[in-house]
């Protein structure tokens, strides 16, 4: 499979009053065409900032300080703002955690769909009437694709007139309007009820298969990853700590943090057993010394862990950032 997105040694920093925060520190990753990559981590682990960096949406006081981002053979960091804008929404699309806040409350759903086409689609007819009906047809088609009933009438409505699940579908429809090669879905189900969560994830998987696009699924839910992703990447405190094929990583996690995450999931099969949360807190990202960032919470930590730890091979197609891998195999 050919590589669609390749990020190497990405570093994104935020200048805060407390000091420079390295929200993303040396992240490398690859997404192949047609693949679904799951990105897992607690809030503050840098998973969202990593992909904001990819989309060129990091805002002051943040900035991408180092690293390369290659998409479809192009170096995104070297692009002019206008060129990057042309890629956003057309080749790389994004959905956000909560459609209620991501959709503009003051604009109709129809307008919010139409503007993406107007911004990116040069094949739209130039005659006013033909153009309008082309946009309309596409909008109806997209809403139909994500399963919104009676799309013609709903185009004229405002976001608050839809249910939470419908809004999430609309946001996905907007993101997919230009048939992007890569969809970055940032916590697509967190804001939803459990039953609707499954529907939305099915929808994304289904469309991914039909359009042949790649998906990055950012989540803190390993269950979601297990069900929908080919590969998974676990992030902690701005770094990737483990990465590999989903079934292997979840079946036999190698990094103590990944193990902790899995152990903290309440499982119906293990009812009656106590949940084991990971003890301690995510370290403050200001002025971190170059050493294993998880050691303060790690059950395997030793004196020797207080050094800089690289990603180490942990099996076929797998890597983990831990010096105690032999103890976790």
Partner 1 sequence: MSLGKLLERIVQLVPVLLGVSLIVFVMMALTPGDPVQIMVGEQSITPAQEAELRHSLGLDRPMAERFFIFLMNAAHFDFGTSFYHGRPVADVIAERLPATIELSLVALVVALATAIPLGVMAAIRKNSLLDRVATVGSLLGVSLPGFWFGILLIMLFAVHMQILPVSGRIGYDNEVAAVTGFLLIDTLLAGDIAAFGDALRHLILPAITLGLPMTAILMRVTRTSMLEVMRQDYVTFAEAKGLPRRRVLYRHALKNALIPTVSVAAIETGSLLGGNMIVETVFGWPGLGRLVVESIFLRNYPLIQAAVLLYAVTYVLLNFIADILYTVLNPRVKL
How far apart CA 236 and CA 265 sit, in angstroms, is: 17
Q: How many CB atoms lie within 10 A of CB 43?
A: 10
The CA–CA distances, whole Å, from 13 to 41, 233, 237 equal 18, 21, 13
What are the residues binding partner 1 (CB under 8 A)?
Answer: 55, 57, 85-90, 93-94, 96-98, 101-107, 115-116, 119-120, 158, 160, 171, 174-175
Residue placing its CB nearer to partner 1 in the complex, 57 or 150: 57
Q: What does DSSP assign to residue 91?
A: T
Question: CB neighbours of 255 closer than 8 A, spacing ≥ 6?
Answer: 234, 241, 242, 294, 314, 320, 321, 322, 328
Residue placing its CB nearer to partner 1 in the complex, 90 or 295: 90
Question: CB neighbours of 167 closer than 8 A, spacing ≥ 6?
Answer: 99, 100, 103, 159
The distance of closest approach from Cβ of residue 96 to partner 1 in the complex, given in angstroms and rounded to an integer, is: 6
The distance of closest approach from Cβ of residue 257 to partner 1 in the complex, given in angstroms and rounded to an integer, is: 29
Residue placing its CB nearer to partner 1 in the complex, 106 or 194: 106
Residue placing its CB nearer to partner 1 in the complex, 178 or 201: 178
Residue placing its CB nearer to partner 1 in the complex, 171 or 192: 171
Nearest to 39 by CA among 219, 214, 185: 219
Question: CB neighbours of 209 closer than 8 A, spacing ≥ 6?
Answer: none
Residue placing its CB nearer to partner 1 in the complex, 145 or 173: 173
Contact at 8 Å (CB) between 150 and 175? no
The distance of closest approach from Cβ of residue 104 to partner 1 in the complex, given in angstroms and rounded to an integer, is: 4
Residue placing its CB nearer to partner 1 in the complex, 117 or 145: 117
The distance of closest approach from Cβ of residue 102 to partner 1 in the complex, given in angstroms and rounded to an integer, is: 4
The distance of closest approach from Cβ of residue 227 to partner 1 in the complex, given in angstroms and rounded to an integer, is: 25
The distance of closest approach from Cβ of residue 199 to partner 1 in the complex, given in angstroms and rounded to an integer, is: 21
130 Rama class: left (phi>0) / alpha (psi -120 to 50) / beta: alpha
The distance of closest approach from Cβ of residue 48 to partner 1 in the complex, given in angstroms and rounded to an integer, is: 11
């Amino acid at each position: 499979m050919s590589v669609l997105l390749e990020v190497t040694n990405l570093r994104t920093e935020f200048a805060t009053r407390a000091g420079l925060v390295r929200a993303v520190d040396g992240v490398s990753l690859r997404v192949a065409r047609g693949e679904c990559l799951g990105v897992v981590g607690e809030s503050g682990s840098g998973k969202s900032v990593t992909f904001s960096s990819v989309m060129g949406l990091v805002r002051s006081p943040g900035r991408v300080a180092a690293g390369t981002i290659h998409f479809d053979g192009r170096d995104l960091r070297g692009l002019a703002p206008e060129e990057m804008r042309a890629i956003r929404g057309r080749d790389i699309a994004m959905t956000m955690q909560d459609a209620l806040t991501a959709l503009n409350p003051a604009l109709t759903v129809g307008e919010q769909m139409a503007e993406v086409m107007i911004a990116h689609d040069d094949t739209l007819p130039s005659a006013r009437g033909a153009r309008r009906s082309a946009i309309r047809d596409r909008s109806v088609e997209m809403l139909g694709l994500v399963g919104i009933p009676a799309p013609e009438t709903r185009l004229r409505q405002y976001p608050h007139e839809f249910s939470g699940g419908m809004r999430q579908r609309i946001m996905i429809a907007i993101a997919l309007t230009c048939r992007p090669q890569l969809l970055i879905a940032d916590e697509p189900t967190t804001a939803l009820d459990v039953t609707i969560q499954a529907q939305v994830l099915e929808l994304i998987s289904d469309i991914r298969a039909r359009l042949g696009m790649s998906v990055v699924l950012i989540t803190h839910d390993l269950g979601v990853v297990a069900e929908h992703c080919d590969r998974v990447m676990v992030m902690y405190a701005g770094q990737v700590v483990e990465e590999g094929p989903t079934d292997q990583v979840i079946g036999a996690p190698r990094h103590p943090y990944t193990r902790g995450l899995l152990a903290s999931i309440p499982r119906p099969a293990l009812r009656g057993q106590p949940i084991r949360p990971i003890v301690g807190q995510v370290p403050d990202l200001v002025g971190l010394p170059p050493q294993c960032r998880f050691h303060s919470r790690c059950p395997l930590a030793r004196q020797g862990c207080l050094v800089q730890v690289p990603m180490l091979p942990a099996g076929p197609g797998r890597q983990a950032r831990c010096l105690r891998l032999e103890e976790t195999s």
